[in-house]
Amino acid sequence: MTHVADVRDSWSTRTGFILAAIGSAVGLGNMWRFSYVAAEGGGAAFVLLYLLFVAVIGIPLMASELVVGRMTQVSPVRALAKLGGRAWTPLGLLFVFCGLGILSYYSVIAGWTIRYAVDGFRGAIPSDAGDAGAYFNAVGTKLPAVGTHLIFMALTILIVLGGIKKGLERTAIILMPLLFLLLVGLAIWAVTLDGGGAGYAYYLKPQLGELLDPTIITSAAGQAFFSLSLGMGALMTYASYLRSKENLAREAATIALTDFGVAFVAGLFVFPIIFHFDLGGVIGLGDPIADNTVGTLFISIPPALGSLGTMGDLVVGAFFVMLFFAAITSAISLLEVVVTAVIDGWHWSRNKATLVFGILITLLGIPSAFNLNFLAFADKLIGNVLLMVGGLFTAILVGYRIRPQAEDEMAQGLTSPGARRAWVVLVRYVAPPVLILVLVFSIPDLITKFKTLIGI
């Protein structure tokens, strides 16, 4: 038997780790959810609420995940059992379930980005809004969607087969800078659109009244979890491959704020387009957000840009290439949670674990390719509610069960006792009650999505 600990891979540089972690956080969530939830939820006021969640709950919990990963150097499933006792194994298994579940539908959406990038550059996306809906139905569901889902999963599997250094780290080092360049280029291009000013105003105008609405508060919290890759041990898994004793609170802040920055700049691209082309009515601004987020990116924006001729085709192509980069660097982290758990838990080889579970996830994604209501329900249940459940229990573990050990590990890089105290207070006293409240608030929406799924 090989001694897994002897051959365990690791990141080769701090930059590699940070870029991979930012790659996990920055994903489809930044592009298809953030700007919409923000506009619907009170513009600048929402952005501030979101930042508050990120600062008060997101960064402390992310730091907690990093601490657990680095101090144990094993997969979350084993880490939790080792630190908390056997009673914590179910939480580790929940993480693996979330990885399998989220990647299954995430890959379907990511598959669309491949198709749209290719067809965008070719100018093959219809520029008439009505035809664009038919085009989406033709390429975004059923067998064509299964096809692009297969391609995306095959690429994800290939990268994860390469391991931490040669697969995940190398991919992040190449793709993340390209993603930043594309994003900034697109946002600058959007400044040139006439009438875009109204878009910025809509996006950023503070509407304080909305902030008291519980659904808005839940969507800000849920968005923070999904976007920061929190609550399912993704960053815990990444940190288990860290050797150096960096300041993990600072790493968490860097990852979280970069993720926010990308989401924010993506909004600066999306909103001027919506107002320049007067798409507000088409996408139903003012209606419940969830149903039209996919519609905006894939149905309204591409034909509008396509109507600008060659330049428009280039912008559409570049936009979907950027989305694809964002998606694949997140997808590899979702698969890595599962693969690391299987390697560390069952002593399988990386090749076997990646292939077997990669294929299983590919199969699990097929229902989402055939039924968008299934996709929406899976996203709400796993990508939102279960991540918050995972986050709640992570906070309880770190804040109560293993606090002294966790504090010692944190002290390895974070030398200020005051800052450590603040971290502990947020993890112990702020995160659990807020998360319980938010979870209670999110039940009605979950029920609505379930009813839509089963047709009542």
Sites of contact with ligand PFF (CB under 6 A):
24-25, 27-30, 102, 226-227, 229, 232, 234, 330, 333-334
Burial of 117 (0-12, 13-18, 19+ CB in 10 A): buried
Using CA atoms, how far apart are residues 365 and 390, in angstroms rounded to an integer?
Answer: 22
Phi/psi-derived region of residue 205, left when phi > 0, alpha when psi is between -120 and 50, beta in every other case: beta
User: Taking the complex as a whole, how short is the minimal distance between the CB of residue 241 and ligand PFF, in angstroms?
Assistant: 15
Q: Which two tokens stand for residue 357?
A: 């579970």
Q: What values do phi and psi take at 413, rounded to 5?
A: -130, -30
Nearer to ligand PFF, 91 or 234 (CB): 234
User: Taking the complex as a whole, how short is the minimal distance between the CB of residue 69 and ligand PFF, in angstroms?
Assistant: 13
Nearer to ligand PFF, 227 or 354 (CB): 227
Report the sign of the C-alpha dihedral through residues 67, 69, 73, 77, in that order: positive
With beta carbons less than 8 A apart as the criterion, state whether 349 and 44 touch: no
User: Taking the complex as a whole, how short is the minimal distance between the CB of residue 8 and ligand PFF, in angstroms?
Assistant: 21
Nearer to ligand PFF, 120 or 383 (CB): 383
Nearer to ligand PFF, 229 or 247 (CB): 229
Q: Which two tokens stand for residue 358?
A: 């990669």
User: Taking the complex as a whole, how short is the minimal distance between the CB of residue 378 and ligand PFF, in angstroms?
Assistant: 13
Q: What is the DSSP letter of 386?
A: I
Nearer to ligand PFF, 31 or 424 (CB): 31
Nearer to ligand PFF, 28 or 63 (CB): 28
User: Taking the complex as a whole, how short is the minimal distance between the CB of residue 233 and ligand PFF, in angstroms?
Assistant: 7
Burial of 12 (0-12, 13-18, 19+ CB in 10 A): middle
SS3 of residue 73 by DSSP? coil
Q: Which two tokens stand for residue 440?
A: 């209670």
Using CA atoms, how far apart are residues 423 and 415, in angstroms rounded to an integer?
Answer: 12
User: Taking the complex as a whole, how short is the minimal distance between the CB of residue 384 and ligand PFF, in angstroms?
Assistant: 10
Show the CA angle centred on residue 178, arms to residues 175 and 181, nearest 5°.
155
Using CA atoms, how far apart are residues 24 and 227, in angstroms rounded to an integer?
Answer: 9
User: Taking the complex as a whole, how short is the minimal distance between the CB of residue 232 and ligand PFF, in angstroms?
Assistant: 5
Nearer to ligand PFF, 135 or 298 (CB): 298
Using CA atoms, how far apart are residues 204 and 271, in angstroms rounded to an integer?
Answer: 10
With beta carbons less than 8 A apart as the criterion, state whether 65 and 394 touch: yes
User: Taking the complex as a whole, how short is the minimal distance between the CB of residue 235 and ligand PFF, in angstroms?
Assistant: 8
Q: How far is CA 248 from CA 86, 235, 254, 297, in A?
A: 26, 11, 10, 35
Nearer to ligand PFF, 282 or 334 (CB): 334
| Of the candidates 342, 377, 372, the residue with the CA atom closest to the CA atom of residue 360 | 342
Nearer to ligand PFF, 97 or 121 (CB): 97
User: Taking the complex as a whole, how short is the minimal distance between the CB of residue 104 and ligand PFF, in angstroms?
Assistant: 13
